[in-house]
Structure 1
Amino acid sequence: MASHRKPPPPGTRVAGIRTPALATAALTSVALLSQTATAAPSTDDKPSIEEVEKKVDDLYRQAESATEKYNSAKEKTSKQRKEVDTLLDDVAQRTQKLNEAREELGSFAAAQYRTGASAPDTATFLLADSPQDYFDQTQLMGRMTSRQKDAVDDYVTEQSATMKKRQEATDSLETLSESQGDLKTAKATVQRKLSAARELLSQLTAEEKARLAAIEKKKQEEAARKAAELAKQQAAEQKAAEESAAAEGSAGSSSSTSEASEASDSSYATKAEKALAFARSQVGKPYVWGATGPDSYDCSGLTQAAWNAAGISLPRTTYDQVNAGTTVTLANARPGDLVFFYDDVTHVGIYIGNGKMIHAPKPGAYVREESIYYDGESAIHSVVRPA
């Protein structure tokens, strides 16, 4: 018999108690509100403009560090390639001489065979570990002419030298292969860092980009203020030095040391002027990592080219340029000096005076004049006078 009970009203049971549909909906709403209150909105996961700026700056710095490693590996690879080519040419020449010496020994063996002298030993001679071993064993040297002995000596000498050069070439090729691997790794690292920076910037809205520009402008204003302070300090010290020199001159004090110092200062100023003239003529050209001109530069490529225009040869990388001269204090920095940045010495600019420099800043930027405090006072590593 069919049941005449009414079906239960829609709803659920909570702890054994039947709840109506309306109550269920209310509980569901409370649960959802509770989850919403405890879960962070997805927009909160987005980094702030300040965080984006720091991340992009860090990526550019890492890219510049990788660029200097790339420059170093590239220079090393080029040098090793030349060494390998020289060694291979040397081996080829020595091999030719060795073949000629072997042919001459073969002609002696053939002559002995035709005359019947030591005929059984001819094959042994040609198959011996070295001609000298054979002659020592058979005491044939005593029966050879002076010319034949010289030919044996030449063969032994050439064989030894050729084997040595072949080993050198093999070792150099292995080192070259390692350097090429380093070069490939550094290049990939640069490209990866730059791609990450571009990706971050591409995700910014127009409003965020405007805020980022405002932050950058504020940094530039602070950098300009610090540059003005340094310029004022340097001017005061220069005036004091001139007054001291004038006082010594009026007292009749002069020495060969001071005269030599003045001559040295004048020589440096002349060279620095040429380096700066070149650097100024490059303003507006793009930064391109690994570039040394004439259409684009990276930071060390620019300083190297500038001082090369003044007749001074600088190494290729910041790591080497920082050791290519005399370190001076920032207060004593003079136009033409090289200003290095960061603890890992991965950036460099050429000082122009008044707290400013010319440098190739970073990817996406151009060679420009800028305060040496462009990335904060703590970023400055050292100042080096290259000549």
Structure 2
Amino acid sequence: MASHRRSSQSGLTRSARTTVLSAAAATAAALAAAPAGAAPTAPADGPKARVDRLYAEAEKATEGFNAAAERSGVLRERVGVLQDEVARGQERINRMRGVLGSVAGAQYRSGGMDPALRLLLTSDPDGYLDRAAALDRMGEQQAGVLADLGREQRRLDQQRAEATRTLADLERSRAAVAAHKRTVERKLAEARTVLNSLTAKERQDVDGADRASRSGGREDLPPVAGGVSGRAAAAVAAARGAVGRPYVWGANGPDGFDCSGLMQWSYAQAGVGIPRTSQAQRGAGRHVSLAEARPGDLVTYRDDASHVAMYMGNGQVVHAPYPGAPVRYDPVGMMPVSAITRV
């Protein structure tokens, strides 16, 4: 009986030892798999996690706002072009109708009598034949103008129909802009409510986690690694120069930026046009691995690519984080990387 008890205790000890060793191995594996420079994680249900989640949702809505606003701008330009084309088409039709009116008036003034009888009775046969030939030519001109008028009318109808459809698209795009704007403002208000409800200790914990994620803030502007092309170097210089400027959602510089606005503005300073949204910026060039990343590469984050930063070398990126946090340096592994794009 005692032997059985010793055997049971011995078995429990081996089981516990196995459990401890397995847990240690799993922990070591998790640490080994963590990306270099990754920010320390906060509890999934803690205040910082809630605020971060709201900021992420606001950022996703901001990129939706940017896309809808960009589409609205394109549609407004197209509507203007179509309206000008419709106006010019109507002017052409009015001129054609004027020509047709002149021809009809000339024919009316010369009508009313059989042409052979008019020739017989006229005192100036040569003059009559000249006028008759002119009327024939006017008749041919009238037929040509009528054909042109029909074509112009059909073109004008098509242009008006396209303008109507484009105006409807513009109204839908404006509605999308307004909807995204409301979502952004609601999420940011919720984040402010959470922050305002925190105790001093909780606020200190949130601020401390934020400072830790910044690896000391990097206000000293760490050196950029080498191997940068001309236009990438100019974009990197622009992004470095924007450090300290405020996050402003929906803005693309020069006084304030959201994440994708900073990327677009920085590359614009290098004479390079890139799309407005972080999702479109993810596809704006060739994808490379993190090991191949060079300064100037765009680093998009999260599965939906709702955040973007610029790689600066030395494991650092520059980005516009969220409201209340200025443009700054952070570790490249601050959140899950979606893609690294070389413009």
Q: TM-score band, normalised by the shorter chain?
A: 0.7 to 0.9
Pick 1 or 2: higher relative contact order, CA cutoff 8 A, min separation 6.
2
Q: 1:383 is aligned with what amino acid?
A: I
Report if aligned partners of 1:340, 1:381 keep a CA contact under 8 Å in 2.
Answer: yes
- The 1:49–1:159 alpha-carbon spacing in structure 2 relative to 1, beyond 3 Å, is closer
Q: Which amino acid aligns with 1:357?
A: V
* 2:249 equivalent in structure 1: 289
- CA shift, 1:319, in A, is 1.1
Letter matched to residue 381 of structure 1? S
C-alpha distance 199-337 of structure 1, shift in aligned 2 (>3 A)? same
CA drift of 1:144 comes to 6.0
> SS where residue 295 of structure 1 aligns?
coil
CA–CA distance in 1 between the matches of 2:58 and 2:198?
A: 21
Q: Which residue of 266, 270, 274 maps to 1:310?
A: 270
CA pair 151-57 structure 1, distance change in 2 beyond 3 A:
same
* 1:57 aligned residue: 52
User: How many angstroms does 1:78 deviate by?
Assistant: 0.3
* Equivalent position of 2:110 in the other structure: 115
Q: 1:187 aligns with which of 163, 181, 184?
A: 181
Deviation at 1:49, TM superposition (A): 10
Q: Deviations over 1:37-95 (max 9, x none)?
A: xxxxxxxxxxx995222111111001100011111001100001100100000000100
Q: 1:372 to 1:181 in 2, by over 3 A?
A: same
263, 267, 287: which is aligned to 1:327? 287
Larger Rg: 1
Kept in 1, the 8 Å contact 2:296–2:310? The answer is: yes
Q: Deviations over 1:326-361 (max 9, x none)?
A: 101101111111111000001111111111011111
TM-score, normalised to structure 2's length?
0.74
Once the two structures are superposed, residues 96-131 of structure 1 have per-residue CA deviations (whole angstroms, 9 ceiling, x without a partner) of 11111112222333333333459xxxxxxxxxxxxx
Q: Secondary structure at the match of 1:63?
A: helix
Residue 15 (structure 2) aligns with = none
> Does structure 1 retain, via aligned residues, the 8 Å contact 2:247–2:258?
yes
**What are the Cα deviations for residues 310-334 of structure 1, in whole angstroms up to 9, with x where unaligned?**
2221111111111111101101111
**Contact persistence 2:262–2:319 (CA under 8 A):** yes
What is the root-mean-square deviation in Å for CA atoms of aligned residues? 2.7
Letter of the structure 2 residue corresponding to residue 165 of structure 1: Q
CA distance in 1, matches of 2:201, 2:238: 39
Runs (4 or more) in structure 1 with deviation over 6 Å come to: none
Distance, in Å, in 1 between the alignment partners of 2:306 and 2:101 is 62
1:1-387 matches, cutoff 5 A: 50-116=45-111, 145-220=139-214, 269-375=229-335, 379-386=336-343
Write the distance in 2 (CA, Å) between the matches of 1:218 and 1:208.
Answer: 15
Residue aligned with 2:251, SS: coil
Unpaired stretches in structure 2, ≥5 consecutive residues: 1-42, 114-135, 219-224
Shift of residue 309, structure 1, vs aligned partner: 1.8
Q: Pick which of 328-337 and 210-219 moved more.
A: 210-219
Normalising by structure 1, we get a TM-score of: 0.66
Give the residue type in structure 2 aligned to 1:166: R
How many residues were matched structurally? 276
Distance in 1 (alpha carbons) for counterparts of 2:158 and 2:296: 47
Give 3-state SS (helix, strand or coil) of 1:382's partner: strand
Aligned in 2, Cα 1:283/1:311: closer, same or farther, shift over 3 Å?
A: same
Distance 1:220 1:279 in 2: 17
Q: Tell me the amino acid that sits aligned with residue 337 of structure 2.
A: I
| Percent of aligned pairs sharing the same letter | 41
Following TM superposition, by how much is the alpha carbon of 1:220 offset from its aligned partner in structure 2, in angstroms?
A: 4.5
In the alignment, residue 286 of structure 1 is paired with which amino acid?
P
C-alpha change, 1:349 and 1:367, in structure 2 (3 Å) is same
Q: 1:309 to 1:218 in 2, by over 3 A?
A: closer
Give, in angstroms, the shift of residue 305 of structure 1: 1.3
Whichever residue aligns with residue 60 of structure 1, its letter is Y
